[in-house]
Amino acid sequence: MIIGVAREIKVEEFRVGLTPAGARELAEAGHSILVEKDAGSGSGFPDEEYGQAGAVVVPRNAVFGTADLIVKVKEPVRAEFPLIRDGVAIFTYLHLAPNPDLTKELLKKRVAGLAYETLERDGKLPLLAPMSEIAGRMAPLMAAFYLQKFKGGSGVLPTGVSGVRPGKIVVLGAGVVGTNAARVGIGLGMETVVINKDTSQLQRIDEQFKGRVQTIPLSAHAVEEEIRDADMVVGAVLVPGGRTPVLIPKAMLGSMKKGC
């Protein structure tokens, strides 16, 4: 099989779909690996490393025009639509539910779309979990940055100081993202609340964090009450392959603290 690795052109996307180590394993298995020039530079993998691993570095058109399987990280953007050949296979995060234009394009060209976020093994999503772990840990850190006054936040110090209460973080969802967001909230010393529909996941959170997290079953009333005095709110609900439900409608935003 000819496997092509495309360079990501989505704004602020620096990841690459295949490392040089992965390219070496596939090449040794008998596959031909085409890597677009500078595809790995944003992740610290220069073209030379791919060449040494047995891949061939080629221009963009060669990847899309030759490969049987195109490996990416993010869904194809509109500028890539004309490059997609009929019947090609694309292995990437697709997130088709909120993107009807991409969905229609893939259907029109009979593309075999293999979406990282929906591939299951033993009931789990092994290709989504690592990104969810990163997202969950990054969310409170980014929120802490934007809580600063000069960024338009309330100026609350999440960790608190002697004589001052710490901030409060509310996490909506108790999956991989939610669990990791709660972990960071606890690490920062924040009052940490997790709201989730599945009470068995709340029990897991209770056991994992030994009572340092307040767990609450999901309801519109619970969300409204808890976000009222929150300094951070992290949305961490997942519907595999579908749209995430709206848990905080516009009417509820007015009840939140200014600068949250």
Residue 12 and residue 94 in one domain: yes
Residue 245 shares a structural domain with residue 134: yes
Q: How far apart are CA 1 and CA 16, in angstroms?
A: 20
Task: Looking at the structure, tell me whether residues 109 and 157 fall in a common domain.
Answer: no
- Which residues are known to be catalytic? 95
Domain co-membership, 111 together with 168:
no
pLDDT tens sequence across 234-248 = 999 998 888 899 999
Domain match, 139 and 238 both: yes
Give a yes or no: residue 123 inside a domain: no
Three-state secondary structure call for residue 161: strand
69 shares a domain with 12 = yes
The total number of structural domains in the chain stands at 2
CA distance 34 to 198: 44
Mean pLDDT of the chain: 97
The CATH number of residue 89's host domain is 3.40.50.720
Residue 197 burial class via C-beta count within 10 angstroms: exposed 0-12, middle 13-18, buried 19 and up: middle
Query: pLDDT over 90 for what percent of the chain?
Result: 97
The pLDDT score that the predictor gives to residue 52 is 98
State the pLDDT at residue 243.
86
Question: Percent of the chain scored above 70 by pLDDT?
Answer: 100
CB-CB contact of 222 with 173 (8 Å): no
Q: Are 1 and 31 in contact (CB under 8 A)?
A: yes
pLDDT of residue 63: 98
- Residues 8, 227: Cα–Cα separation, whole Å: 36
- Mean pLDDT value of segment 140-149: 98
Give the model's pLDDT for residue 240: 84
pLDDT of 82-131, one tens digit each?
Answer: 999 999 999 999 999 999 999 999 999 999 999 999 999 998 999 999 99
Domain that holds residue 174: 129-253
Q: Tell me, yes or no, whether 258 lies in a domain.
A: no
Instruction: Give a yes or no: residue 259 inside a domain.
Output: no
The pLDDT tens digits of the residues spanning 13-65 come to: 999 999 999 999 999 999 999 999 999 999 999 999 999 999 999 999 999 99
Residue 160 has pLDDT above 90, yes or no: yes
pLDDT for 192 beyond 90: yes
* CA distances to 34, 60, 187, 210, 212 from 205, in Å: 44, 46, 15, 8, 9
Question: Parallel, antiparallel, or unpaired for β 2-5 and 69-71?
Answer: parallel
96 shares its domain with 134:
no
172 in a structural domain: yes
HSE toward the beta carbon, residue 135, CA cutoff 13 A: 15
Last residue of a domain, one of 71, 92, 117: 117
3-state secondary structure 10-24: CCCCCCCCCCHHHHH
Rounded CA separation 136/180 (Å): 5
Instruction: Give dist(CA 34, CA 67) in Å, integer.
Output: 7
The reply to whether 166 and 245 lie within a common domain is yes
Q: At what angle do helices 176-187 and 199-209 cross, to 10 degrees?
A: 30
Q: How far apart are CA 30 and CA 63, in angstroms?
A: 18
